[in-house]
Amino acid sequence: MATIQLEAGRRARLSRPLPYEPLFETGRFILSAFVRPFAIFRSYRRSDLRPDLIAGLTVAVILLPQAIAYALIADLPPVVGLYTAIIAAIVGALWGSSAHLHTGPTNAASLLVLSTLAVLPYAHDSHAYVAAASLMALLVGIFRLAMGVFRLGVLVNFVSDSVVVGFTAGAGVLIMFNQIKHLLRLDVPNDPGLIDTARNTLLQLPATHTPSMMVGVGVIVMLVLLRRFRPSWPGPLIGVILAGAAVWLFQLDANGVHVIGALPRELPPLTPPPLFDLHLIGQISTGALAVAAIGLVEAMSIARAISGLTGQRINSNQEFVGQGLANIAAGLFSGYTCSGSFTRSAVNYRAGARTAMSSVFSGTFVLLAMFLFAPLAAYIPRTALAAVLIVIAWGMIDRKQMVQIWRTSRPEGWIMVATLSATLLLPLEFAVLTGILASLAYYVLQKSMPRVLDMAPTPDFRHFEERGDRDPCPQLGVLSIVGDLYFGAAPNVEEALRRHMAAFPDQRYLLLRMHNVTHLDISGLHMLETIVRAYRERGGDVYLMKLRASIYEFMKTAGFVDTLGEDHFLSEEKAISHLFYHVLDPVVCIYECPARAFFECQNLPKMLTSSSVCQAGNLKEKDVKSLSPADLWLALHQPQPPIVIDVREPREFSRGHIPGARLIPLSQLDAQRLNLDKGTSIVLACRTGRRSRIAAQMLMAAGYRNVCNVDGGMVAWEEAGLLEAIEEFV
């Protein structure tokens, strides 16, 4: 045995990670993360080129008008959106993990940029505004890159989908209201707030520009029809081209229809943002953190959704690195904040893309289009882009998903409603953080409230299930703890266990099933010690079963195994049989329990008397007087000692009884045939006092006025060290 233990200890030491291993693993991940493009190029096959080119061209057709429109949401020049589309698509694909996730400008990120930058004192200075947007992209990239480098991708899992759905729906509503002024060509100041925007828009409605409205409404109608009858066609591009053609043909720009103007023909210029403007960094850091968080959740949700169709394994930390580098590159090359786009990613997948090179090709095609068609942008009407954004924003409100969340999980539904309301009423950066904090609070609340289930055997006695309405065992409670026992959960579990104790005061023994407990800390251990003391004080005990090896080792190290006793840790197969034959009192099952809770109870005879006694005499346990063993010993040595009646079975009586006691088993006790005076002093005894209490109730119901019960029964008599008589029964 000693050899086996030494060998196990040696293996444990060998399997224990060395102190420098985490640093080594982090360094190896950083190296592999930053050389990701080499891995893509090395594994690229010629057969993937044609599908990736076709998919890249298809995505570019959608990306081109979206990049211009999304930049306008953020109140940025259209060319900034094109620069972002080019840089982010290429960098995000080469350093990301997903083969289909497309990175670039998005509507939600653009709205967050507007919400953060619109309140700056120099928001009307176009150069300073663009510089602030680039700085914000750089900060967002640093946040995301740091999370990837330090392998914190798991944190995204703590932000529920309800936060994303609620924020996206709220962002859709805000985008629609913010684009009405461009659709109708109203002179309304930029304001990301819903109330101010709606009020100012209503006040300016009489000044609606009819030609602009007609062009915009026409584009909306066309997009709705195309989405219904030709969903595979690039509706936004078609709508923008036709609107631009109408402006050129009818010279609508001369009639007051605003156009975006010609775009420059140049590569994205390297213009480092104001890195040393600490005041500006302080002003936009909160918004940058919100954009970083919501963007990562969106990107990972999209990547995982598509990987579920393709079977590709997604590395969340690598994706964080890709998203971080994409934003850093966009910030350095005159762009703004970017993220993963569900629409473009889905198109990329449906178009047959095989590798991340499809996104690289989409960015390249946008660059070529900017060189070839930049002058034609002079005819693109602003109202047409507003119409495109309104249709896209309406699609952001996922009503089906919202209804599903509300019906399936009401707490998640309230988180969604809270995030949606905060998005509409609060500054967007605080709305995002509010949703994330609400999601984290819900997670912590769930983790701090493990379920304590009252269990019973299944009808075939092979497994356990929730007891439901079935009668419990009067001696043994079987509870299952579902959740971890750490400092935040221990008080709630203790409260649940104490509620069970109060609900079943006769259950002196407790069996805890702990196979669902994966973590136990010192607070949880102290809670278990408290429960053990409580059960032992009431004359019972606590037993444990189905513990994980790590939990048992922790208990052993902390000394809890010695406190509880090695024999109190039971296997699942033998737990009930061991307790039934060595701990519980089977006589209770015979005389008091109408149920047959366990397999071992099935063949026991039932001689129930307690229910009829209580009903006939309308008596309660507290009405029965108790007499301590010491007081009974003194009473037996008085001139007129009481009559002691032992109501146990003959086998129990023969092993030891109170001297002078008369044996009348409870099943044979008949108060009418006792032939004693009703005023006779009678003391009843059994093993623990349960059966004798029932006998006392029977005699009291029959009119006997001077009846007592030995408190604690023969167990207490033996513990007091009093003499016993032993008889032989044949």
Residue 510, phi then psi, degrees to nearest 5: -130, 130
Query: Dihedral, CA atoms, 689, 693, 695, 701, nearest 10 degrees?
Result: 170
570 membership: H or E segment, kind and range: strand 569-570
Q: Residue 346's Cα: distance from chain center in Å?
A: 27
E-strand stretches of 318-418: 339-341
- Residue keyed to tokens 């213009």: 271
Q: Residue 586's Cα: distance from chain center in Å?
A: 44
What value does the CA radius of gyration of the chain take, rounded to a whole number of Å?
39
566-572-574 Cα angle (round to 5): 75
User: 3-class DSSP state for residue 496?
Assistant: helix
* CB 122, CB 277: distance < 8 Å: no
Residue 249, phi then psi, degrees to nearest 5: -70, -45
493-494-498 Cα angle (round to 5): 120
Query: Does residue 686 have an active-site annotation?
Result: yes
Residue 481, phi then psi, degrees to nearest 5: -95, 120
DSSP letter for 725, please. Answer: B
Q: What is the 3-state secondary structure (H, E, C) of 56-107?
A: HHHHHHHHHHHHHHHHHHCCCCHHHHHHHHHHHHHHHHHHCCCCCCEEECCH
Tell me how far CA of residue 513 lies from CA of 475, 495, 540, 575, in angstroms. 17, 17, 17, 10
Instruction: Look at residues 370, 305, 293, 385 and name the one whose alpha carbon lies nearest to residue 339.
Output: 293
Q: List the catalytic residue out of 338, 593, 686, 708.
A: 686
Q: Residue 297's Cα: distance from chain center in Å?
A: 15
Euclidean distance between CA atoms 29 and 25, whole angstroms: 6
* CB 359, CB 190: distance < 8 Å: no
296 membership: H or E segment, kind and range: helix 278-310
Q: Which residues are catalytic?
A: 686
